Structure 1
Amino acid sequence: MATHATARSIRNDVAMMLRPPRRILVSDGARALRVNAGTGSGNPWDASTTPYMVKPLNATSSRLHEAVVFVGPARSGKTLALIEGCLAHTITCDPADVMVIQSTKDAAEDYSKTRISRGIRGSPELLKQLSPRAHDDNVLMKFFRSGMSLRLGWPSLSVLSGKDVKRVLMTDVDNFTGDLGIDEAFGLAMKRCQTFMSGGIVVAESSPATDYVDGQWRQSAERPHEAPPAGGIASLYNRGDRHRWYWPCMECGEYFQASPGYELFKLPLERELLERVQVDDMLTMSRRLSIVYCPHCHVGLKDRWKDAMNLRGDWVGEGQVIHRDGTIDGDVIESRTTSYYLGGVAAAFQSWESLIERYLQALKVYAKTGEEKPLKTTYNVDAALNYVPMAARSESNPTAMQDRAETWTSGSVPPGVHFLTATVDGQKNRFVVQVMGWGPGASGTLERCIVDSFSLRTSERPDGAGGFLGLEPAKYLEDWERLVPKVIQRRYPLDDGSGRTMPVRAVGIDWGGAEGHAARALEFWRSLKERGLHWRVRLVKGRGGKVDYLWKETKPDSSKRKDRNSGSRGDVPQLLINVDRMKDQVAANVAREEPGPGYYRFGDWLPTAFYEELTAETRTSKGWENLGKRRNEAFDLAVYNETLALWIKAPAINWSNPPAWAAGWDTNPDVVKGDEPPPPAPAPVRSRRPRVVPSRYLRR
């Protein structure tokens, strides 16, 4: 017999549609959800299990933000809270149309059957709100007595178009494989909620799954909460106010960041671990290494204290500071997106020993087979960190280089430098200059020293307003004249207060670059020859691919070639460089931490950007590549300086009896008081062939 609705049930259903929302925290409304309801042992969602989810969950009802972004490890309870907990609050407290977006259509159907349907039917308060009509309860669409609808979909234009919903809840966004990428899907989701103005909200949560190739990226002291420069959820997080989870040390009480990755464990270097995992026992290693060290008191903390630390933890936004008593000061970044990033070390459902063991197992697979997928997986889902492929990594650490910087006066020659070289990189609107000093180190071997690094940006062409126009080297030959006083004829004061100065012994100028740059470089060198300044200057150019030399001096002539118009006529000497081999040499030298052959000395006045440029490139199977598309002038100019040193035969100098121009300050004729004229050009060395006397003049 068919059952019919009674007047009472109809009246109750209509009343639910008119009932005002219950003004309670979302985290309180989420208690209507029974966790593990499908197993028959469901308990109300408990905030104390994952206390780090309370604040992000409550933010889903914020009128100040239009989006909530959460990055965290797998098995941290993020989906349970932000998707199902938010949905439970919506159903019982603030009914409104909701859309849940999964990574694929199959994933959406599976999520509906195994999580949503089970959660609703296992939670009495939610089941009571479900529409009793059978056709209102489908896999991808559900209706409730209040009139609200729940749609489940995937990142497709048809799913995310033409609908008005108050809340769009997006899960596992870094694994979206539909018609839309995460940025497009996120933008369309924002449009779906726009009708509801400040009442609408978009939630996006995921473990990071996108790689990034800038192996030299480091978190800066100015932005300690910034995520790596990867796409996907990390990019969405960086748009927001960037909250990180801080918890207190159980020993000293100071708060520190539960940062993503493995930094807090103070593990040995990865290259050392790659050797150890092949011979050591995994369980023993993981048990011994699974200790978090407080960055304040450096005491080792064990996993059994994690729950207590989480209960006392709090979210701190970019620009804020948390004190020992738990109070937070400072102003968070103003953004319409509130974002949160939880490190894998704080995940409630994974022990530290398990976290380290999975990492070591993945390293073992890589050490034996070269397969990186297990390593990428454990970085993403366990440590909650975007992965940098091994090919994109570099052993050079700009921070370590900066830490060993010495103190001497900026723009002066420090003790130990016997002669100078300078190199110039021509850009569209500037010249970038690097001056390097050379001399014997304590071991009597050739060491390097960065003496100066600067850019020339203005010409001597008047702008009509009392100033000067910007440089345009590819257009104006007169702009190159700036290099004569600023580089070629420049003298640097010694850092001893004596008033003596040292000239630049050799100058290398890059003649590649924008169209017209090469022709101007050739013209400039010819003008230097007319003035007798050419002997110390060479044009330099890198050659990629497989070449059979490290460097060579040549005088190319393209005057008879119709496919080239560089201006070469066989009269301008140029240094051609095997860039990959020379960069191998420079990279090894700058990475050297102790004085000795090839060691680089840095002044403490050099900016952080200089070290980042020096380590911007990565050695791959194709050669040296700038994978992160960062500025790399310091690296290129160091290569040119190394080539100049080879050109003037600096590595062959006998420091017990050096040539006069490489002698110490007191005996070097180039080191003079004040700005005296530069030393004269050396007399050219001409090879003489034996004179052959005609036989008729020989005595018989």
Structure 2
Amino acid sequence: MTTYATARSVRLGVAEMIRPPRRILVSEGAKALQVANAAGAAGAWDPHTTPYMVEPLDTTGSRHYEAVVFVGPARSGKTISLIDARLAYLITCNPADAMVVQMSKDAAEDYSKTRISRSIAASPELRSRLSPRAHDDNILLKFFRSGMSLRMGWPSVSVLSGKDIHDVLMTDVDNYTGDLAIDECFGLALKRTQTYMSAGMVVAESSPATDYADGAWKPSDPHQGPPAAGIAALYARGDRRRWYWPCPECGERFQAAPGYDGFALPPLEELLERVVLDDVQKLARHYSLLHCPHCGVGLQHRWKEGMNRSGVWAAEGQVVHPDGTVTGERQEARIASFWLGGVAAAYQSWESLVERYFQALRTFATTGEERPLKTTHNVDGAINYVPMAARSVSDPNEMRKRAEDWGRGAVPPGVRFLAATVDVQGNRFVVLVLGFGIGESGQLERWVVDSFTLRTSARPDGSGGFLPLDPPKYLEDWERLVEKVITRRYPLADGTGRTMPIRVTGIDWGGKSGTSVRALEFWRSLKVRNLHTRVRLIKGDTRREGPLFRETFPDSSKRKDRKSGSKGDVPQLLLNVDRLKDTVSANVKRAEPGPGYYHFPDWLPEAFYAELTAESRTAKGWENLANRRNEAFDLCGYAEGLALWMKVPAINWTAPPSWAAEWDDNPDVRADDAAPAPPPRARTRRVIRSKYLGR
């Protein structure tokens, strides 16, 4: 006779189902959790390691709140405390159905395998409560002896509908990739717990990852978060608590605020120059002191652990006194919301925090790439990012005041090569010729060498003139670009008679129906003449989060719904226009020469500057809200994309490629076939070098 269970084991199994909840703090019950790492080693969850997580975790057991929202940096212990430790409390002290909502289905499966399963296996108290039946221990659904179920979910209507769940634990919410917006997901989670009334709980935690476009925004209260969507918006719906710790020098309390303001860093303009010229690690070490706003003393990182252990949370409207007591009333809210600055994170030093910020600034200063800056703001500083282009409003008059004096169509000193970009309209070609080179700052700068519009074709109108251009219809109209742009040479401004060719031309081939077909035919005709190597067709990439550029060979020959004429034989540059325009906007705002600086000649019309500032940076990206002419802005963005494709930011200017060498060493610069150089102007403009460049 086979025995499947003893009477004792049956009694113990049933007893687990009827055991009353243990009335202890959540942080006490969470000590049953053994945090396991990839090597199999485990250590008990210790609230003293991240003391700032104790109150948020204990608040998840309060019947006064329906949700806890936590915003904080990566590696601060927020997920271990609010998700893993909360689950340990539920399993051992207050069994109830729970769901962990991850970024995506794949992330949910990975979290179950690498975090949940390992923690249960490493924690004797959790392991003993897991159902002994093999079919009760699955990747996305686990059952325990008490009858408690633990689901793994992701942001989907089907996952978050039709269930009664005691705890919905949402992690990394600002990076959700499902078919639900964060607000929708949070609302559905609250509905799932509503059956349990005051006992139900929703937890949402994340580092901020959404941008905001109001560069002029300033908080009206020290506890106010930026006007961004996602976890920042959820935080704003709560009582807005911040972490206050004592200054070891004067004893006064101050906020461990998100971002980098506490490090007394120089102005951004100065930083952008210093991170290029100076040793970033030494610079970070110099600025890694956190300054007390009361006494002004720069505090070393070694004081952080003690400051955290003496820290307290205070809500908006409350006052923290030097002895740690908190007075004042919290505003009434059904959500307890917390925001922890990156300076308080237990697992990152202040020097590392500042160094990552400086490294990201160096990347931006040398390449125009903003993604590292956004990342370090989000995961290290625990603050939403505002793009450089949105930090101030572009003033066309200020740009025009910087105009310099050199002849139209002449290549000014400093330019190493020319890049032309063409915007194809229904009845014209709009052309910009931009020079790239090394200015007096010793950094990569830009010069506007020429700007013009082609309006007439070479087709006779029958009365001695020529018909207007019609690029979508006539291939021969594109031939105007060969002489006027692709093979054109510009005289140097040194009066020697030498000329410089256009090194690369980018042609926007989107727009009116028929344009793409003619653009492809034109490029193929250039290939026959061996003029194609320096010409690329360019188009905006619909993926806003994609790379700055990618080269593709589109082929629609097998698609009946496409008639573009592409056969996989013509290269195309897909440009992330939004991010490239961020670079342009930030560069044209530079008031002094330096990395990315734009030199404008005094012959440019006022309309050019108006076009350069026609668009506004919104949460959706760059938008032409007033429907104004914006060709100059588009063409500058295309030119930045061409420069990246040519790997210009990576050039070693002490040993550049021949086409980017100085004029006397550049084989592309020659005197034959040269148009006479314009005579030098009597009046010269003195360029003032930044006082910060020598630092």
Length-normalised TM-score, structure 2:
0.57
Task: Find the residue that maps to 1:316 and give its secondary structure.
Answer: strand
What displacement does 1:37 show?
5.1
Q: 1:23 to 1:619 in 2, by over 3 A?
A: farther
Deviations 1:619-644 (A, max 9, x none): 99543648489xxxxxxxxxxxxxxx
User: Does the C-alpha gap of structure 1 residues 620 and 197 become closer, same or farther in structure 2, counting only changes over 3 Å?
Assistant: farther
Deviation at 1:383, TM superposition (A): 0.2
Distance in 2 of aligned mates of 1:232 and 1:90: 27
Q: Distance in 1 between matches of 2:26 and 2:612?
A: 52
Q: Distance in 1 between matches of 2:170 and 2:37?
A: 22
CA distance in 2 between partners of 1:621 and 1:190 (Å): 47
Provide the C-alpha distance between the structure 2 equivalents of 1:285 and 1:336, rounded to a whole number of angstroms. Answer: 45
1:335 aligns with 2:326: no
Task: Give the counterpart letter for 1:317 in structure 2.
Answer: A
CA distance in 1, matches of 2:393, 2:299: 29
CA distance in 2, matches of 1:91, 1:628: 42
- Cα deviation for residue 7 of structure 1 reads 2.1
**Partner of residue 365, structure 2:** 367
| Pick aligned residue for 1:289 from 263, 281, 287 | 287
The answer on whether the counterparts of 1:215 and 1:628 sit within 8 Å (CA) in structure 2 is no
Equivalent residue runs for 1:517-536 within 5 Å: none
Instruction: Answer whether contact 2:211 2:619 (CA < 8 A) is retained.
Output: no
Cα distance in 2 for partners of 1:11, 1:588 equals 76
Tell me how far apart the structure 2 counterparts of residues 144 and 227 of structure 1 sit (CA, whole Å): 40
- Cα distance change of structure 1 residues 216 and 49 upon mapping to structure 2, 3 Å threshold: same
Check the 8 A contact 1:37/1:123 in 2, yes or no: no
The residue number in structure 2 matching 1:623 is 614
Indicate if the aligned counterparts of 2:389 and 2:617 stay in contact, CA closer than 8 A.
no
Which among 305, 309, 318 is matched to residue 316 of structure 2? 318
Amino acid at match of 2:294: H
2:230 — aligned with what? 232
CA distance in 1, matches of 2:319, 2:615: 40
Distance in 2, Cα, partners of 1:351 & 1:10 = 52
Alignment of structure 1 residues 423-438 onto 2, 5 Å: none
* Residue-by-residue CA offset, 1:345-385 (whole Å, 9 max, x unaligned): 00000000100110001011111110000000000000000
Alignment of 1:411-450 (within 5 A): none
Distance, in Å, in 1 between the alignment partners of 2:279 and 2:2 is 67
Taking the TM superposition and a 5 Å limit, the aligned residue runs for 1:96-495 are 96-220=96-220, 223-394=221-392
Query: Normalization by structure 1: what TM-score?
Result: 0.57
Which residue of structure 1 lines up, in the alignment, with residue 26 of structure 2? 26
Contact 1:394/1:619 (8 A) holds in 2: no
Structure 2 counterpart of 1:659: none
| Stretches of structure 2 lacking an aligned partner (at least 5 in a row) | 395-588, 592-608, 621-695
How far did 1:394 drift?
A: 1.4
Give matches, 1:54-65, under 5 Å: 54-65=54-65
What is the aligned partner in structure 2 of residue 12 from structure 1?
A: 12
Distance change in 2, residues 1:348/1:626 (3 Å): closer
SS at match of 1:363: helix
RMSD between superposed Cα atoms in Å: 2.3
* CA shift for structure 1 position 14: 1.1
| Change in 2 beyond 3 A, CA 1:619/1:64 | farther
Task: Read off the aligned partner of 2:614 and give its amino acid letter.
Answer: G
SS in 1 for 2:222: coil
* Alpha-carbon spacing, 1:620–1:301, altered in 2? closer, same or farther (3 Å): farther
Residues 5-47 of structure 1: per-residue CA shift (max 9 Å, x gap): 2222121111111111001100011110012355343221111
- Output the amino acid matched with 1:187: G
SS in 2 for 1:278: helix
> Quick one: which amino acid aligns to residue 383 of structure 1?
G
User: Over residues 515-537 of structure 1, what are the superposed CA-to-partner deviations in whole Å (9 max), with x where a residue is unaligned?
Assistant: xxxxxxxxxxxxxxxxxxxxxxx
Distance in 2 separating the partners of 1:2 and 1:272: 81
1:161-211 CA-to-partner distances (Å, cap 9, x unmatched) read: 000010000000000010111100000000000000000000000000000
Distance 1:217 1:628 in 2: 14
Summarize the Cα distance change of 1:2–1:278 in structure 2 as closer, same or farther, 3 Å threshold.
Answer: farther
1:175–1:48 CA distance, 2 compared to 1 (3 A): same
- Could you say if the C-alpha distance between residues 230 and 3 of structure 1 is closer, same or farther in structure 2, counting changes exceeding 3 Å? farther
Structure showing greater radius of gyration is 1
Matched residue count: 411
Report the more deviating stretch, 72-81 or 386-395.
386-395
Query: What amino acid maps onto 1:623 in structure 2?
Result: A
Q: Does the residue aligned with 1:96 lie in a helix, a strand or coil?
A: coil
- One-letter identity of the residue aligned with 1:60: T
- Secondary structure, in 3 states, of the residue corresponding to 1:111? helix
Equivalent residue for 2:80?
A: 80
Q: Which amino acid aligns with 2:69?
A: V
Q: Is the 8 A contact 1:37 1:122 kept in 2?
A: no
Query: Could you tell me how far apart the structure 2 residues matched to 1:130 and 1:620 are?
Result: 66
Question: Once the two structures are superposed, what CA deviation does each residue of 1:284-331 show, in whole Å capped at 9, x if it has no partner?
Answer: 011111000000000000000000000000001000000011111101
Alignment-derived partner of residue 53 in structure 1: 53
SS of 2:60 mapped into structure 1: helix
Code of the aligned partner of 2:248: M
1:64 partner amino acid? H
Q: Taking every aligned residue pair, what percent have the same amino acid on both sides?
A: 66
Task: Tell me if structure 2 keeps the 8 A contact 1:60–1:203.
Answer: yes
